[in-house]
Structures are given as C-alpha cells and as structure tokens.
Amino acid sequence: MTTPRTRTARPVQSAKRAAHKSEQEPETDRQDVADGGSAGALSPREQQLLAALLEQPTIQKAAKVARVPERTCYRWLAAAPFKAAYAEARRQAMQQATARLQHAAGQAVETLEEIMGDSDAPSTARVSAARATLEIAYRAVEIEDLTERIAALEATAAKEEVTT
C-alpha cells in the first residue's frame, strides 16, 4: 500500500516532460481540479493534457495524445484552476516565442535592407521589403506612443487613488 503524495504545480517544462513519460506516477486520493480538488495543483493526467494542448493543433488530438477522454478535456478546460494553468502555460510559450523573434529581428532587418538595396533583385521584392520595413517602423512608433500614454494614465490613476 502506498501513501498518498501531495502534488504541487509544476512549470510548463515539467508538464511537457510528464506528457512524454512512459510510466505513470501513482495516483493519490486527490480529486482532479475540475471535480473540486486542490486548486493549486494539477494531477499527472491534467499535466499530460496541458502539455498535449500546447503541442497539438486541436483539442481532439491533444485528448488522444494525453489519453484523456475528449469530454473530460472540455470539462477540465472549463474548470477555473485548469483554465488558469493553461492560460499561464500559453502565456509562457508566447513569451519564449517573442524572445526568439526579438533575437532574430536584427538579421531580419539586415535581410530587408539587402533586398531593398539590391538593384538586381526584382522590383516586386524591393517594394515588398520597403513596405515591410515601413510598416514595422510605423507599428514600433505606435507601440512606443501607446506605452507612454498608458504609463501617464497609470500615473494619473495612482495619484487619484492616493487622494481618495
């Protein structure tokens, strides 16, 4: 007879590793979060589904990979604790993707500059590169402007909060 283990929330990488584990961890007496169990922890099955949801293009495929019934997937996705864990995992994945894009941005700009300046390149390629460069520059200015405006609004709101 095994003693129940307390489960704690694992980071996304641990959830991905759990999805690829061949052996199952022993079950505990804890219910799945969707059934009212501990809000701060995901069961191994929930972690496997979370990892599968991040890696598979559809819920149906994620359910199959995680070996969880599709109805259970939808039930867990509707439960606040699982929904929050899934949202956080997606946020972390997007942050990693954004960091990779930022790392490649310098090379992308160099490529656009090369194409724009290459008189042997087709004019459509040069125009396309110029347009992309201008659009990106315009968006960057917009983002900087919005960031400043939001900071000013937050400062104003903080001052009003202090006076009330």
* Per-residue pLDDT reduced to its tens digit, 88-138: 999 999 999 989 988 888 898 899 899 999 999 999 998 999 899 889 888
- Confidence grade of residue 80 (pLDDT, cut at 50, 70, 90): very high
Backbone phi, then psi, for 39, in 5-degree steps?
-75, -20
By the 8 A CB rule, do 38 and 46 touch? Answer: no
Backbone phi, then psi, for 139, in 5-degree steps?
-60, -40
pTM: 0.53
- pLDDT beyond 80 at 160: yes
- pLDDT beyond 70 at 159: yes
The whole-number pLDDT of residue 125 equals 93
The whole-number pLDDT of residue 55 equals 96
Total number of residues shown for the chain: 164
Q: Which amino acid would we find at residue 38?
A: S
In 8-101, beta strands by DSSP E? none
User: Cα–Cα distance between 81 and 9 in angstroms, integer?
Assistant: 11
